[in-house]
Amino acid sequence: MSVTSDTVLSSGQWWNALAEERLLMLRCPKCGAAWMPFLPHCPDCGRGPIPEVVESRGAGRLYSWVGVQSSISSPDEAPFVVGSVILDEGAPIYGRLLGEPGAEARVEAVFVERGGRTCVDFEVVG
Amino acid sequence: MAIRREVWDDARIVGVGYAPITRDSGTSVLDLALQACGNAIDDAGIDEKRVNGVLSYSFNHDSVPVQAVATGLGLGDQTWALDSALGGQAPCYLAIAAAQAIHAGAADAILIYRALNGRSGARVGQARLPGAAADQRYAIGFDAYAQNIALWARRYLTETGQEPDDLGAVPVAQRLHAIDNPRAVMRKPLSYEQYLETPVVADPFRLVDCTIEVDGACAVLVVSKEVAAESKQPPVSFLSGGYRLGHRSGLDAGDALLWPDLTRNYTSILADELWGEAGLGPEEVDMAQIYDCFSSSVLINMEGLGLAGRGEGIEMIRSGATAKDGPLPTNTNGGLLAEGYLHGMNTLAEAVLQLQGRGEVKPVAQPETCVVTSGAMMDGSALVLANR
């Protein structure tokens, strides 16, 4: 679903959308590449077509993961696992992983309150 | 595009200097830089008033500027200076920049140094990296350098059908070198069984898969062929060199989110040019000094350069191929894993010392050529050096 076609998404807007349990990303209208909203231009096409802001369905595959034995910023929550997830729309994203990690495991987004804001974690579903 | 070959004709590396590598230097970063640079000048046997260029690099503002070092050493007028924030990707790149400056006539005696209180001062392993992508990482507690690289290691192990504990081959092999290196911080013998007893710190990494943060400094002196003739050390020459910043490289030093393949880094993009310009292949080079902030970096770099087949680096190291009596002695100072984390400046310095026949660890066969890399991830630099 295209939310808007002429606004580049700021980091703040991205976090605000997460609070509404919407996972937004940017998509290049020219090549279809998708990415998280920290870059104003398509990493492949560069400046040119204005990226679309689209909502991810939140499903993807686990590309890699790391066991965080100790965390500087969340010392009381470790250990936990952080996954590198490729969403089905093509955008890569990091999120904490719920469930047993495995290469190419199917995952789905789960919205979790953490440190006063809503974060997106990923649950292994298959 | 490749750097023009005539750039390499004019430059030689002659001097190497260190400040002590420790866990607590008890002194300033400037003092460490001055010690290492002064030692490199003395080592080369060149009059310090000949030095007319100073290059350095830092990470998160952890060093002192080149102007301070020129002042502190009482150098004369400098005609070439550069402070880079590239971190561990810089050492080979700055040597290339020095060769380019010498070829261009901008300077003819150039110091390159790395100095930091990386243990007693700000530690990279706990650093908060600036950059737009960090916002999302830190919010989920994904906040240490080892964790970033662990993602690469895990994907590499997955794609090559290996297990986390297989990584142990790297620190075990490098520790064997470090035992004979008085500069090394980690010199106790390390068996594979002992490796398995060390704690997992960022799965799949155990403690000794990670470099050891240290205080210290290291410098080399790059000079023109003419100045090299005045040096008391044998000259080391450049056969080839290059830097690559891969497409989709990311927004900060820990941001590999857009990078398409965590099992391949800048070495994969650079390899053909590096060997082609050097006029020798990975099977012909005598020695390797490979950037090793983490064990997996050695594997991805070596396989990227074709020194080992895809997924075969661990087996190659286990076979003894990288030991001092093997066909490709590698990280002969113990590497960043054991000598200490001077962000790869000591990796380049070790290559120079070995080619000059001055290494603390003596390979069975004196190397005539050596490949050096700087960097573990999306960007980095490499050199092929020779003792002629």
* Residue range B252-290, pLDDT digits in tens: 888 899 999 999 999 999 999 999 999 999 999 999 999
Burial of B116 from C-beta contacts in 10 A (0-12 / 13-18 / 19+)? buried
What residues contact B195, with CB distance under 8 A and at least 6 apart?
B165, B168, B171, B172, B206, B208
Q: How far off is chain A from B269, nearest CA to CA, in Å? A: 17
For residue A1, pLDDT over 50 is answered with: no
What are the φ and ψ backbone dihedral angles of A60, each rounded to 5 degrees?
-170, -165
Per-residue tokens: A23: 């996972």
Nearest chain B residue (CA) to A101 = B154
* Residue range B123-180, pLDDT digits in tens: 888 787 777 778 888 889 999 999 999 999 999 999 999 999 999 999 999 999 999 9
Give the pLDDT band (50/70/90) at residue A6: very low
Give CA–CA dist B253/B59, Å, rounded: 9
Residue A80 to residue B141, Cβ atoms within 8 A: yes
CA angle B90, B93, B94 (to 5 degrees): 80
In 3D space, the residue among B338, B384, B356, B347 whose CA is nearest the CA of residue B171 turns out to be: B338
pTM, entire model: 0.96
Chain A partners within 8 Å of B151 (Cβ): 64-66, 82, 84
Domains of chain B: 6-122+213-228 (3.40.47.10)
User: What pLDDT is stored for residue A5 in this prediction?
Assistant: 40
- In which region does residue A7 sit, left (phi positive, over 0), alpha (psi from -120 to 50) or beta (all else)? beta
Q: How far off is chain A from B194, nearest CA to CA, in Å? A: 20
Q: Stretch A90-118: mean pLDDT, rounded?
A: 96
Q: Which residues of B are catalytic?
A: 291, 341
What are the φ and ψ backbone dihedral angles of B121, each rounded to 5 degrees?
-105, -145
| ipTM for this prediction | 0.94
Q: How many angstroms separate the most distant Cα atoms in chain A?
A: 45
User: What pLDDT is stored for residue A7 in this prediction?
Assistant: 52
Residue A66 to residue B251, Cβ atoms within 8 A: no
